[in-house]
Amino acid sequence: MKSNTPRLETLAKLLHRYDREMHLRQLLPETHERHDWFKGFKYLFSPKWKPPGGSPPYIAATALLDAYSQLPRRPDLAFMLTWSATNSAYNDLYMRDVPTVGAVLGDTKSIDLAAERIGSQLHKTVTRPAGESFSERTVTIEELLLEYVEAAPDKVWHFVASYVLKGFALDHYSVARAGALPVRPIHIPSAYHTFKRNYQHLHTMVAGRFGPKYVALCQPVETPDRTDVDFGIKAQDADKARRLVHALGVELNELWRTRKPGLPSTSTDFVKDADWVRFPLQCILYASRNTNVHGNAATRLNSLWSDAESVSASAWMFIACYAYLGLILLCTKELALDDLHPLISNIEAFKSAG
């Protein structure tokens, strides 16, 4: 693992004898401008959740309380907890809507169904009534999703492009080569397998234009303890690798927004609304959640390399996941269209905070 000595020393001190104040000093202060989006944050709620006659979706609600408690300084943890609420919501949707005897509950099937149900409602409109500091605004669900994804910081798309290119390279090198040890397929990110399987035209584009260039920069080998991979990118090639990651991130963003084919492919993976809805949910949010929950990456804002951009990326992850949660709760009829107006204010607040 590469070292960032001052932060590594602090990490060791905190592990030896935890000090909450020292830990908090490693984070941006609550008053930092990167947290300004939270000043305009609005909470999802339905009047039918009020007792004594009603109640909220219990499991999702308990996860959300913990998520709210982490804001604004730990949006990375708020995202993880909001994903727990989202997971519960899409599982409820699957359990209610799939009566097949012998059906097995799983994330893939539940996410697919949630994307299908949301996709069938893209034309519906959400209206935010006028308030003291904002005007009335009406948007379709499709416009709302576009606005969220268009506001994603570059770091979010770099995350997707990075695991796709690393997965492509490891897929290429996961057999024995003369003069080098093999890289076992176990190191290939599961998110890459999902991308390759579900978005074949995008994968064709990667294989035709970006993957081979990235592979040419790599000489991957497993680390001595076999728990990680050293991609062997030379110092003089590091900028080339970063530029490839950035360029692929820009391309993926553009192809999702426009639903156009990515050359050399002549077709798009986003003909169906359900596939278009599913991509950010599965390839960004779910992939990020899995990377962290399965212990394959440092907790984002505890990372030795976290910075202000990491805070903004984590905040976007949280509000985007919160938006998808709201849309899934619309599908389960826990929320009505009129209850979704906070999602308009939240993305506006995020964009205004810059």
Domain edge (last residue) among 240, 272, 304: 272
Kindly state whether residues 175 and 144 are assigned to the same domain: no
Q: What is the DSSP letter of 29?
A: P
What pLDDT is recorded for position 288?
94
Please indicate, yes or no, whether residues 202 and 264 belong to a single structural domain of this protein. Answer: yes
Is 164 in the same domain as 56?
A: no
Asked whether residue 323 is domain-assigned, the answer is yes
Residue 109 forms part of a structural domain: yes
Sign of CA dihedral 81, 318, 313, 245: positive
Per the structure, the complete domain to which residue 267 belongs is given by 154-272
Strands 125-128 and 137-140, by their bridges, are antiparallel
DSSP string, 83-151: HHHHHHHHHHHHHHH---TT----HHHHHHHHHHHHHTTTT-EEEEPP-SSS--EEEEHHHHHHHHHHT
**Does 341 lie in the same domain as 266?**
no
17 membership: H or E segment, kind and range: none
Residue 127 β-bridge partners: 138
Looking at the structure, tell me whether residues 95 and 158 fall in a common domain: no
Which residue has 């990667």 as its token pair?
A: 206
How distant, in Å, are the alpha carbons of 118, 341, 344, 346 from that of 323? Answer: 12, 10, 9, 9
Pairing mode, strands 221-222 and 137-140: unpaired
Amino acid at 201: H
Q: Which of 209, 244, 272 finishes a domain?
A: 272
Under 8 Å between Cβ of 73 and 30: yes
**Is residue 205 domain-resident?**
yes
Quick one: 237 and 333 in the same domain? no
User: 48 and 143 share a domain?
Assistant: yes
Joined together, the tokens standing for residue 333 give: 């009829």
* Whether residues 191 and 228 fall in one domain: yes
Tell me what pLDDT residue 102 has. 65
- Mean pLDDT, the chain cut into blocks of 10 residues (354 residues total): 71 88 86 92 96 93 97 94 97 85 83 97 95 87 97 96 96 68 86 96 96 95 91 96 98 96 90 97 95 56 75 95 98 97 97 88
Same domain, 267 and 334: no
What is the pLDDT, as a whole number, of residue 97?
84
Instruction: Name the domain count of the chain.
Output: 2
Name the domain boundary from 242, 272, 302.
Answer: 272
* Any domain includes 293: no
**287 is a domain residue:** no
Are 326 and 263 members of one domain? no
Is residue 269 classed as helix, strand or coil in its secondary structure?
coil
Assess if residue 268 is contained within a domain: yes
Report the phi/psi class of residue 102: left, alpha or beta, with left for phi > 0 and alpha for psi in -120 to 50: left
Question: How many beta carbons lie within 10 A of that of residue 308, not counting itself?
Answer: 11
The pTM score is 0.92
In a domain, 304, yes or no: no
Q: Is position 286 within any domain? A: no
In terms of domains, do 182 and 228 share one?
A: yes
Do 136 and 167 lie in one domain? The reply is: no
